[in-house]
Each structure stands twice: as structure tokens, then as C-alpha cells.
Amino acid sequence: MLKFKIDKATYDALSDEQKAMYAEAGDGYQMQIEGLPDVTGLEAKVNELLGEKKSEAEKRRAAELAAQQAADEKARAAGDVTALENSWRQKLTDTEQRYQSQIEGLNGSLHTLLVDNVANSLAAKLAGESAPVMLPHLKSRLTVEMQDGKPVTRVLDASGKPSALTVDELGAEFSSNKAFAGVIIGSKASGTGGAGDADKPAGGASGLGGNDLVSEAANIIKNMGIE
């Protein structure tokens, strides 16, 4: 189906008979129809009006800004400085709160990614199904730190201060901690973990393999000296 107005590429693809039906108009070609009014001038007028409308919108924004500035100056001159400053202070507070909310949301996401996920992965690696027992202890030893402008996982020492330990080294530390011998996968498999310790109940930590998490947690708390 032939169109009323086409571009040059479409025109070039027409047959000679079809090309004869078109005449060049602006940057394309327009079908010549007898009795059809010439709209070239109308299009030009529309473009002119659109340009004027855009110009008017820009002028209106400039006028509104000038009016606001004039109102501010008038308020200051009238001594209504307090109300004016309170208005701007409220705008600043609202903006700060909006950005603070966004920052807190991002920090929460970073903590989940670099602390919670890392702790979950390490706990599962060390204790398998008993991971929930170790999870809070591992989380307390991890934090998020900015390094070279990028957030990274930082391992804390036992006192909660930043350390040079890696996550793997933290895992090794917990693996060698007798308090967790009952839930560490390697310790349960080998039967080690303080068997024969006078402070442990009969059967030793190696006997915890068949107990539920509540019993394991109770033994860990006892071994850590927590009442």
C-alpha cells in the first residue's frame, strides 16, 4: 500500500510508475493528489508554534524562579526571616532524611551480602546441619569495611577489633575451638573434640553426633563457661 508521505529510501525502491505519483517535499516525498490543499505552509506554522510554546515554557520557569527569589527577598526585607529560614531548613531536613533512608537500605543489603551470607556459608561448611549453633558466633566476628572505596568482609578478633584474619583462618580458629568440637564436622567424624575432659559429661563431645541442636547448644554453652 502506497503511503501519502515517504522518505528517500522508500522512494528509491519504487517503480518508475509509482515514482511519478510523488513529488519532493522537504526531506522526503509526498504523493501528488489533485484537489488536496498544500499543507507545507501549515506544517511550517505548526513547527513555529511548537517552538514558541517551548520558548514560552522556558520563560515561564524563569519567571517563576524570579518570582520565588523576589518573594524571598521581600520576606527578608519584611523581617519574616524566621519563617523563610524554617521553610528552607525543613526542605533540607526532608532531603537529608530521604538520602539517609537510601543509605541505610544500601548498608543493610551490604551487611546481608558480606556478613550474613558469608557467615551462613562458613557455618554450613564447618558444622553442616548444626550450622545454626555456630551462626551467631561467626556473625559476631564479621563486619563490613570500606577498602579502596569498595565494601569488603572484615574479620574481627575475639575482642571485636578489626584483624588481618581471613574468613578461612576464622574457620580454622573455630574448628580448633574445643567449645565447638561437638558440632564441627571433622571433630565428630574423628571422634575427637575433648573426649575424656573431666568437665564434659559422660561419653564426651563425640557422643553429640546423634543429639538434636538443643543438646548441642547446651553443651557448647557449658564448655564456654556460660551459666
Domain boundaries, the chain: 108-223
Question: 31 — phi, psi (to 5°)?
Answer: -65, 135
Residue position matching grid coordinates 526542605: 91
User: Rounded to an integer, what distance in angstroms lies between the CA atom of residue 78 and that of residue 80?
Assistant: 6
C-alpha cell at 69: 527569589
Query: Is the CA virtual torsion 13, 18, 23, 26 positive or negative?
Result: negative
| More confident: 36 or 27 | 27
Can you give the pTM of this predicted structure? 0.43
Q: How would residue 169 be classed by pLDDT, with cut points 50, 70 and 90?
A: very high
Q: How would residue 203 be classed by pLDDT, with cut points 50, 70 and 90?
A: very low
User: Rounded to an integer, what distance in angstroms lies between the CA atom of residue 174 and that of residue 134?
Assistant: 9
pLDDT of 141 over the 90 cut: yes
C-alpha cell at 68: 520565588
* Contact partners, residue 146, CB within 8 Å, separation at least 6: 152
Roughly how many angstroms between the first and final C-alpha of the chain, as a whole number? 89
Closest CA to 174 of 215, 147, 139: 139
Decide if 5 contacts 25 (C-beta within 8 A).
Answer: yes
Please give the average per-residue pLDDT across 125-132, as a whole number: 90
Query: Is the CA virtual torsion 193, 197, 199, 203 positive or negative?
Result: positive
Residue 216's CB: how many other CB atoms inside 10 A? 21
Burial class (CB in 10 A: 0-12, 13-18, 19+), 182: buried
C-alpha cell at 77: 526585607
pLDDT of 197 over the 50 cut: no
**What are the angstrom distances between the C-alpha of 219 and each of 42, 88, 207?**
90, 60, 11
Angle at the Cα of 27 from the Cα atoms of 26 and 33, rounded to 5 degrees: 55
Can you give the pLDDT at residue 213? Answer: 47
